[in-house]
Amino acid sequence: MGPERVARVFVDVPLAHLDRPFDYAVPDEMADEVRAGCRVRVRFAGQLVDGFVIELADSSEHGGKLAPLAKVVSPEPVLTPQVVALARAVAERWGGTVTDVLRLAVPPRRAAAEKRPPAEPPPPPPPPDPAGFARYPTGPALLTAVAEGRPARAVWTALPGEDWPARLVELCQAALSGGRGALVVTPDGRDLDRLAAAAEARLPQGSVVVLRADAAPDARYRRFLDAVRGTARVVLGTRAAVFAPVADLGLVAVWDDGDDLHAEPRAPYAHARDVLVHRAHLASCAAVVAATARTAEAQLLVESGWAHELVADRATLRSAAPRVHALGADAELARDPAARTARLPSLAHRAARQALADGAPVLVQVPRAGYAPGLACDRCRAPARCAVCSGPLGVAAAPGPGGSRVPACRWCARPAATFDCPYCHRTKLRASVVGAARTAEELGRAFAGAAVRVSGRGSGVLPSVPAGPALVVATPGAEPVAEGGYGAALLLDSWALLGRADLRAGEETLRRWMNAAALVRPASAGGQVVVAADAAHPVVQALVRWDPGWLAARELADRRELGFPPATRMAALSGTAPALAEFLAAARLPADADLLGPVPEPSRPGQEGERERYLVRVPRAEGSALAHALAEVQGVRSAKKATEHVRVQLDPLDLV
């Protein structure tokens, strides 16, 4: 190789067998512009394609003549070596390609944003006041460790009523005070708004940027550049922000890691929590997994010794938590024998009336949105299906004045003015699931004179509600924050959550309940939570005792015994039967691999053809070998130009 410089480029080609950097010669006229991390265009397989320069070298292992770079799209180094290392680690762990990860990591370019001169970062703030974390025995020590740049790792279980945005911002302030950056990821825009407001009030101006999916492309790229240039040392964002190029990273944190919004729906389907755990390892920085509840994955981090618990003592917890009532107490059953089957038992009525009389709002959590999202035959209770596409029938919203409740298909939207049950030929329908809109209608009649607000899909998500008597009906995740806290919370339709055929049904139910109950005033201020579920159920017991760590440890022990994630690594392979047979025949799976299936893949709206699914399970120690074997097959099939795609997803959240 001659003295010319060599650029190693990851080309943007979605082919698994080409997932590696390629060497290109740097022409003399581009030598001053080309630098590691910049965008270029290169000629690849006869076409001009985009790419990132990840490294500059003086020689190449390629024996022939190198093709030159075609164009420097921008000399701005938007891809840092730390993000390249993270992208490689993510691709290896989830059996994907680096190119797919880079598409998630770097937003599309906007030339106008690059013309702005970089600003100087603000001076570091003083360390935060440890009083906010004083209710947790090891909280002040965590702040000190973050400020000193030590790689402290914690699984934080926030107290009910905790101002968690302020606590996370204090952790960011600790990192800034030590001259390092911080990255915090939340599941949705509503949580991100609360976090950003707390950061704006407490951190130096210009030190924080917010990366969110719904931002305008220009604004998102401008904020991304502030991070990559080192102007802003704190990045707050949703799922895609896990790859943000934070300079001198000293802290990564994730809020509410059990929320399924943290799971990336695009290849390689990585989870934000796990990516941040990897990033903390690569950067040797502090990491905090924070939530009101606790997942089995977070419990595994604790039991493995990778992280320590950050929890309050029981006395502090009792003073902060509301009083939780569940069905099943002998005295309550004697008072209301129908309490076990009633949708709104008398206990819930009394709690709501008491809170309204005290001038406080009441939160009513309903698992489903809409009016009557599920319908069934009035006689045999068979689910009602569309006669055209077999989709489920439902009533989307409450009718207006003079309107009619005409059921419609939730897949193809065709109205079903008539119904004939294929099993008993009954023509009448009943609601099998009651949604938030109908619940609000029923509560408006039961509590005449009380204002009723609905928060959720379709009606709009309310960020907050004022103090004062009102009924707030919300779906899980859409509960608005009440000024001064709710006087009571009613958790209805527990069977819709606990009865799901899902590995995470119990864990997810407790997460949703605790997130709602945490918005209620403490018991000392009259706060009450009524859960319409049997008090003997383990999930209900965890809520009554406010002990999510106990349930997480129980869940993890059960999954170890049964061989389910996170105690094992599991991959879901889905495709047509011939494609799956070809895939598995070529796969060199680990010796301990357990192949489960095939089973029909759950159909989705718009899906064509019948597809099957296999599950491949291996011990956790063999997870890397499994990912490598599956990526290898994808590369071989890509090189052979296989016509049928096999979807490979490691550690899927949904195992139904």
Annotated binding site for Zn(2+): 377, 380, 386, 389, 409, 412, 421, 424
Tell me the residue type at 605.
Answer: P
CA distance 234 to 603: 42
- Residues in Cβ contact with 641 at an 8 Å cutoff, skipping those fewer than 6 apart: none
- Kindly list the distances between the CA atom of residue 176 and the CA atoms of 155, 307, 310, in Å, as whole numbers in the listed order: 21, 22, 21
Phi, psi of 119 (to 5 degrees): -95, 160
Alpha helices in 358-465 (DSSP H): 436-446
CA distance 129 to 430: 57
Residue 77 near residue 38 (C-beta atoms within 8 A): yes
CB count in 10 Å sphere of residue 621 = 11
* Burial grade of 407 (CB within 10 A; 0-12, 13-18, 19 or more): buried
Residue 283 near residue 249 (C-beta atoms within 8 A): yes
Q: Parallel, antiparallel, or unpaired: how do β-strands 234-237 and 181-185 relate?
A: parallel
Structure tokens at 156: 């934080």
Q: Would you call 268 helix, strand, or coil by DSSP?
A: coil
In the annotated binding site, the residues are 377, 380, 386, 389, 409, 412, 421, 424
HEC-encoded secondary structure of 283-317: HCCEEEEEECCCCHHHHHHHHCCCCEEECCCHHHH
Residue 552 near residue 301 (C-beta atoms within 8 A): no
Alpha helices in 67-138 (DSSP H): 81-93, 98-105, 111-114
Structure tokens at 263: 């799971």
Phi-psi region of 4 (alpha: psi -120 to 50; beta: other; left: phi over 0): beta
CA distance 428 to 460: 31
225-252 b/e with 16+ CB inside 10 Å = b? Answer: bbbbbbbbbbbbbbbbbbbbbbbbbbbb
